[in-house]
Each structure stands twice: as C-alpha cells, then as structure tokens.
Amino acid sequence: MTNREHERAIDLITRSGVEDVSAPDAVWLESHLARCAECADYADGCASTGQLLRAVAVTASPALVAATQSRLRARAVELDEQRSRSILIAVSFCIGTLSSTMSAWLWWRFGGWVAQKLALPASIVEPGVFVAWMLPAVIVAVAILASSHPVIDRTVTMAWLGEDQEGARQ
C-alpha cells in the first residue's frame, strides 16, 4: 500500500461525512478499509465524531434557542427593573426633599411655640430644625430599605413615562 492510497482513503473518509462520494470511490474505500487498520480506525473515529455532532446539533438547537430567548427576556426584565428602580429612587428623593423642607419650615415657624407648649427648653428649637429637616428623609430611606419589593409598581412608573402603550405593542 502506498502513501497515496492512504491519502486518498483519508480524503474520501473526510468527504463522506460532508458530501456524496461516487460509487466507485466508495467501493475502493471499502476495500482499502478492509485491508488497512490505520485508515479503518480513522474512519471509525470520523463516524463517531459525526454521529456525536449530529446528536448534539439535533438535541441542542431547540434547547439552545429556548435558553437564549429566556436569557434575553430575563435581561430585558432586569433592565426594566433597574430603570423603574432608579425612577423610584429619584421620586423618593424628591418626596424626601420636599417633606424635609416642609417639616423644617414647620418646625422653624412653630418649633418655638411647640417648645413653649410642651415646656421644653428653648435651646431645643434650633437643633430641632435640623432634626425636623432630616427626619422625613430618614423615614423615607428606612422605608425603601425595609421593603424588598419596589414601593411603586413598575407599571406605574412606566405609565408615568408614557411608555405603557409602547410596552403593550412590543
């Protein structure tokens, strides 16, 4: 057996997995494989590799498509949640600032009177403004941290952005 014969056999084995091999070539290959253990081994290897690849391709493609789709969907939901969360934080910040300013103003305006009524020392009025300013923000922050779920539903924030119709269309 010549090197050229082995080369031809290897070439035919490789091609037979991908394209059609002519009948005389197939017959020649059969007879070569019957006599040559080396090429027969190679043919066995190719056949099992081909079978493995085909089996994987058949079973994996629908599963892979489903997995990729669900991963994409999860990522989209994640991005939506991140966005609605940052909107929630911005809204909470505004509410906190407003209520802090309001309560600080109320304390500044009526703190002296309250201290007088409750017989508290006058020295409490000035630091009281700071406490009144901080307290609502602290309460809002604690409320946000305490709630594992967003206080405001995602659909509400989406509606605020006017994206509810867009979301329905997608």
Binding site for Zn ion (CB under 5 A): 6, 9, 36, 39
- Report in angstroms how near the CB of residue 59 gets to Zn ion at its nearest: 34
Minimum CB–partner distance for residue 15 and Zn ion (Å): 15
Min dist CB 43 to Zn ion, Å, is 9
* Closest distance of CB 26 from Zn ion, Å: 15
Of the two residues 16 and 99, which places its CB atom closer to Zn ion in the complex?
Answer: 16
Q: Of 6 and 154, which CB lies nearer to Zn ion in the complex structure?
A: 6
Closest CA to 126 of 108, 109, 114, 106: 108
What tokens appear for 102 in the block? 């309001």
Tell me the closest approach of the beta carbon of residue 47 to Zn ion, in angstroms: 16
Q: Which of 139, 109, 138 is nearest to 125 (CA)?
A: 109
Residue 120 to residue 111: CA distance in whole angstroms: 10
* Radius of gyration, alpha carbons of the chain: 38
- Answer whether 32's CB lies under 8 Å from 39's CB: yes
Closer residue to Zn ion in complex, CB, 43/87: 43
Q: Which is nearer to Zn ion, 13 or 132 (CB)?
A: 13
What kind and span of H or E run contains 108?
A: helix 37-117
DSSP label at residue 130? H
